[in-house]
Structure 1
Amino acid sequence: MNIIQTKTQTRQSAKRIPWVDIAKALGIIAVVIGHSYPVKDTFYQTIYWWHMPLFFIVGGFFVKPLTSDLLNLKMFIKHRIWPLLKIYFGSGLLIISLNFLVEKPNVVYTLAYFGRLLYGGTELNGDTSVFWFLTVYLIALALLQLILYLPSRFSQFSVVISLFLLGTSYPNAEAALGFPMPWNADVALMACFYMWVGQFGFQFIKQGIAARWLLVLTLFAASTLVILQKYDIINQLLYMKSHHITNTWFALVVPLIFATAILCLAYWLQFTPLHAVLTTIGQHTLPIMLGHKALFSILDKLDDPTWLVLSIGGILVPLIAVQAAYLAQRYYARYRERLYWVNPS
C-alpha cells in the first residue's frame, strides 16, 4: 500500500506545472502581505486588484466539463467538492477552538462563532476572515460546471459575462437585500467569470507564456495602472470579499492583465534560484491561506511584530506545520508496515 501511494504521489508530482505553482506562490505571498500591511496606500490597493482573481483564474485551469453520466457526477462531488468542504469545516473548527484557548472568550461567543462558520462569507472575520475563498470557489466551480454544458464557447461567455455584470451591479448584498449572502454566494458570480477565463484560456496561455513580448507588454500595462493609481489619475478599488468594487469594467479587465503578467513572470522565475522555494510555497497555498490570520493573532500577543515579520511567519509557519504533518504521517505508515510484517494476522 505504501509503495502504491508513493508511485501515485510521484505521478501527481510529474503532472504539476512549475510556473502554475510559482504563480500561486506569488498570489499567496500577496494575500499574506495584504493582510499584514498596515497602510492602505497604492501598494495595498493594487495587490487587491489581482491576487484573489488570480486564484480563481488558476482554479479554472484544470476544470474539465462533466459528462451527463451519474457516476461522473458522483466522482466530481467525491474528489472535488467533498474534500474542500471537509477542509472548510475542519480548519474552521480547529481555528475557532484555538481561538477559544488563546483568546479565552466566553462560551456564547464561541458558539456564535461556530454559527458564523456555517453561514460564512462576510459574517466571518478575524482568524477565519479568508475562509470566504473556499465557499466562493465551491459555488463558482458548481456554476462553471453547469455553464460548460452549454454547446458553444460564445454561449458560455454570454452567461459568465452576464453573471459578472449582475454580480457587480450593486454595492453589496447587504445593501441590495438587507442581509449578507450565505457563503458570499453573490461574489461567486464574479469568481465564475474569472474561472471560466482560466478554463478557456489555459490552452492559449500555455502556448504564449514563453513570449517575452507578452511579459513586457503586460508588465508595462500593469505598471502604468499602478502609477495612475499612485498619482490619483484613477481611483479604483477591487475588494472581492466585501464586494467593494468601484468600476465594473475595471474589475472585468484589469485582473486579467495583472494575472497574465504574474503568469508570465512565474514562467521565467522557474529558471532562477527561487524556483524551489516558490514551487514549495505554491504547492501549499491552501494551508497558508487558511492559517496565516490565526498565526497573526498569536504573533501579535507575543510581541509587536512588523508587517514583514508577520508576512514571513504567515508563510513559513504553515509550511513547517504541513511538512511536520507529512513526516508524522510517513513515520506512522512505516510503523504500521513494521507491525504488519511482525504480526501479519
Structure 2
Amino acid sequence: MENRGLAYQHAPQRLDWVDVARGIGIIAVVVGHVWTRGPLRDAMYSFHMPLFFLLSGMLSRPHPVGAFTRRQLVSQMRPYAIFLALLILADQVIEPAKGNLPIFHQWPRDLLPILLGGYWLRGPYTIFWFVPCLMLARILFNLALNWWPDPLDRRWALLMIPVLLLAYGIGYVTPASPLGLLSVPMAMILLWVGALWPRLHWRNLWLVPLALLALAGLAGWLPTLNMKAGDYGWPLLSIGSGIATSLLIFRLSARIVSVAASLATIGRASLLIMYLHVAIIHYGTPYADKLWLLGFALLTPCLLWNWIDLSPRLRRWIV
C-alpha cells in the first residue's frame, strides 16, 4: 500500500486493471437494471455511474480541441445512432409479435423524442443518456485541460465550485435531460476528480474514511444516486460515497488484475453491454428469472464483441 498513485498511470498492466474496473462497473450497471428496486439496486446505483466518469477522467490528457471534438462526435455518436436505430427496428418486430404496440408507433411524431434522447428514452433505450453525456463532458473537460493541464492547479477548484452548484441546481429544478446533458456538470466534477486522483500519493490512513463513506452508500444509509435524472442524493455525501466506492474498486482492480481475466474481458465489452443489456432484460423479463437475465445480459454482448473484434472495419464503426 505504498505510494502508488502515479503507478496507476505508468504500470505495464494499466490497461488490464482499467478493464477489470470497467468489468466490475458494468456488472454493477446490469445488476441495478435486473433488480429494479430494493437495497441491491440502491447499492449498485450508489457508485456505478460515477465509476465510469472517474475512469475517463483518470485516462484524460490534453488534446488539440478541434481534433478531439471531431473525434469524439464521430466515435461516440456513430455507434450511439447505430445501436439506437437497431433497437428501435427490433422493437418494431418484437412487440407486434407479442401482440403489443411498439414503444415508438406514432410516426413521424415519435421522431422528436428519439432525437431528444436522454429523459425521453425509456424501456430498452433508457441507458442511451450516458454516452452523449460523457462525450460532451469530455469535450468540455479537454477544453479546460488545454487551459490548465495540471488538475492540481487551484484554478480548477475555483472552476468546479460553480459547476458543482450548477449540477445540484438544475437537477433540483427539472429531471428533463435532452441527450443526457442534464448530468454534464456533475460528470465534469467526476472527470476532474478522476484526473486528480492519480496525482495524489496514496496514504494508508485514507482507507478507513474511504471505506466508511463507501459503506454509507452501499448500505443505504445515504440516499442513492440517479445521475440520469440529475438526482445526486444528499449534497456532497451521496456523490462522495460513490467516489469513495469507485476509488476502492480501482485499487482492488489493480491488485487482482493477474487473476481477473474474465472481469477484464467483460470490461473490454462494456460499451456493447451498456447499449444492449437493458433491451435484453426488457424483452426477456417475462420468460426468465433474474439470475438468467443477468447472465444473458452480460454474455450476449460479450459474444457479439468478440465477433466484432475479428473485423477491424466493423469494430471501427461500432465500438
Q: Into which bin does the TM-score normalised by the smaller protein fall?
A: 0.7 to 0.9
1:251 to 1:160, Cα distance in 2 relative to 1, 3 A? farther
Offset from partner CA, 1:115-168 (integer Å, 9 cap, x none): 323111111111110010011101211221232244472111221232122211
* Distance in structure 2 (CA, Å) of the matches to 1:283 and 1:223: 28
Take 1:277 and 1:150, find their aligned partners in 2: how far apart are those partners?
39
Q: Give me the whole-angstrom Cα distance separating, in 2, the residues matched to 1:331 and 1:172.
A: 43
C-alpha displacement at 1:308, in angstroms?
1.6
1:80 is the counterpart of 2:72: yes
1:146 has 2:138 as partner:
no
CA contact (8 A) 1:238 1:245 kept: yes
Deviations 1:200-249 (A, max 9, x none): 22343xx64xx77655663354235544x3xxxx4412111122233221
Aligned residues, how many?
A: 295
1:118 aligns with 2:115: yes
For residues 213 and 270 of structure 1, what CA distance do their matches in structure 2 show?
A: 24
Alpha-carbon distance in structure 2 between the residues aligned to 1:213 and 1:264:
14
| Residue of structure 2 in register with 1:7 after alignment | none
Does 1:168 pair with 2:171?
A: no
Report the AA paired with residue 54 of structure 1.
L
User: Partner residue of 1:289?
Assistant: 274
Match of 2:189 in 1: 193
- On the 8 A contact 2:117/2:180 being kept in 1, the answer is yes
Which residue of structure 1 aligns with residue 9 of structure 2? Answer: none
Change (3 A) 1:318 1:56: same
Post-superposition CA distance 1:34-58 (Å, at most 9, x none): 00004x2222212211110110010
Displacement of 1:290: 0.5
Partner of residue 131, structure 1: 128
Structure 2 residue corresponding to 1:326, chosen from 302, 309, 316: 309
Shift of 1:331: 12
What is the match of residue 21 of structure 1? 19
TM-score normalised over the length of structure 2: 0.83
Identity fraction in percent = 24
Q: Which has the larger radius of gyration?
A: 1
CA gap 1:251/1:226 in 2 versus in 1, 3 angstroms: closer
What is the match of residue 99 of structure 1?
91
5+ long unaligned stretches in structure 1: 1-13, 67-71, 333-345
User: Is contact 2:216–2:241 with CA below 8 Å preserved after alignment?
Assistant: no
Residue 298 of structure 2 corresponds to residue 315 of structure 1: yes
- In angstroms, what is the RMSD of aligned CA positions? 2.6
In the superposition, the TM-score normalised over structure 1's length comes to 0.77
Structure 2 equivalent of residue 298 of structure 1: 283
Match of 2:38 among 35, 41, 54: 41
2:179 paired with 1:183: yes
How far, CA to CA, are the matches of 1:15 and 1:113 in structure 2?
A: 46
